[in-house]
Amino acid sequence: MRVLAALSGGVDSAVAAARAVDAGHDVVAVHLALASASPSAVPGRARGCCTVEDSRDARRAADVIGVPFYVWDLSERFGRDVVDDFVAEYAAGRTPNPCVRCNQKVKFAALADRALALGFDAVATGHYARLEPGAAGAPELHRSRDLAKDQSYVLAVLPPARLATALFPLGSAGSKDEVRAEAAARGLALADKPDSTDICFVPDGDTRAWLGARLPEGAREPGDVVDSSGAVVGAHGGAAGYTVGQRRGLRLGVPAADGKPRYVLSVSVAERRVVVGSAEELDVDVLSGDGAVWCGPAPQPGQRLGAQVRAHGAELACTVEDVDDGAPGAGTVRVRLDEPARGVAPGQLLALYDGTRVVGSATLTAAVLAARATLGA
């Protein structure tokens, strides 16, 4: 196959590209320029994935692997579909995952569409996930062999048509140490390069300050912080700067009666209100989402599945209560967890699993406790 390998400048994508070459594919490497002015690395912090240094590392890796190398400018698409979306979601009081949106809109949409138009058969990335043949012949998305590095969660937004043109050569890797050792054996200088942990377009890691400079004026208007009874216990400088489950930075003027810490329970930007309460009040067990994308057949009411609500979060046993199987990205789903979870916010991705197989995903619109509503959309 003719394969376009996306090189981020990190060790994972470089080894993935090398493995694609070893598999006999005709590989061309491409680095995505995702920022119009790529930030430099910040000393002492892990970098993002769109710095000038990353582009140079990607080029050097392609030279070692022995494949052609290009840089494609997708900064406009990235800015619109990832950065602007990130700001808009926070402005609406939701908590987005930009890596999910980048995979959905950029890497496996804009990049994949351009690759296919140029005659490539597939796009290879350094994600830790596996593709296995399904019963109907279409590929199934599964968790990676190394569960500690599994990234199937951020890929759960990909429908079958996108999975059919994807390659994940690292899905069989036993560990990140194995991948680093392989990179060193191949002579790749980035074998010891630190993992990227920050949001790539927030290079200093201060997301709150970054948002504060970009949120619309209405989302930055001050308002009340109230407890679950409605009593005012503090003030905020903009509700959009808060997220469900947050504990730090609340600056409450009235301590809790029991002296215990309080957490953000809900955020209403329109009402300029942040509600706080006890850790127990964060408990939710009924999760509802829209924009559902199914990686294969849609689940059925009563089906037992696993639910994951954050990258590298625990899988939670659940039962499907309701499904509206609309067009890709238009359906809805509601599940009930066996045990309550905490810190679940509207805007997060709900990914559903049947064993290691990814069933699909939806964007959370509401999370409630069956007997007592704590959040809502």
Give the end of a domain, one of 281, 304, 328. Answer: 281
Tell me whether residue 200 is one of the annotated catalytic residues.
yes
Q: Which of 49, 50, 99, 200 is catalytic?
A: 200
What pLDDT digit, counting tens, does each position of 87-139 carry? 999 998 899 999 999 999 999 999 999 999 999 999 999 999 999 998 777 89
Same domain flag for 56 and 80: yes
Same domain flag for 11 and 97: yes
Q: Which residue range forms the structural domain that includes residue 334?
A: 282-368
Between CA 196 and CA 359 the distance in angstroms is 27
Q: Which of 49, 50, 102, 295 is catalytic?
A: 102
Residue 377 has what pLDDT?
Answer: 39
Identify the residue whose tokens are 């569960």. Answer: 147
Phi, psi of 230 (to 5 degrees): 100, 0
Residue 317 tokens, joined: 């046993």
Same domain flag for 272 and 175: no
Between CA 360 and CA 362 the distance in angstroms is 7
Residues of the chain with pLDDT under 70: 36-50, 197-198, 371-377
Query: Is residue 18 one of the residues assigned to a domain?
Result: yes
- Collapsed DSSP state (helix, strand, coil) of residue 159: coil
Same domain flag for 250 and 287: no
Residue 38 has what pLDDT?
Answer: 42
Query: Is residue 210 one of the residues assigned to a domain?
Result: no
Residue 39 has what pLDDT?
Answer: 43
Query: Is residue 256 one of the residues assigned to a domain?
Result: yes
Same domain flag for 323 and 310: yes
Same domain flag for 295 and 187: no
Residue 126 has what pLDDT?
Answer: 96
Same domain flag for 99 and 244: no
Same domain flag for 39 and 188: yes
Could you give the number of structural domains in the chain? Answer: 3
Residue 308 tokens, joined: 């994951």
Tell me whether residue 102 is one of the annotated catalytic residues.
yes
CATH number for the domain harbouring residue 333: 2.40.30.10
Same domain flag for 49 and 183: yes
Same domain flag for 20 and 45: yes
Residue 197 tokens, joined: 């942990």
Between CA 312 and CA 199 the distance in angstroms is 15
Same domain flag for 100 and 249: no
What pLDDT digit, counting tens, does each position of 260-308 carry? 899 999 999 989 999 999 999 999 999 999 999 999 889 999 999 999 9
Residue of 20, 12, 48, 293 lying closest to 127 (CA atoms): 12
Between CA 343 and CA 368 the distance in angstroms is 11
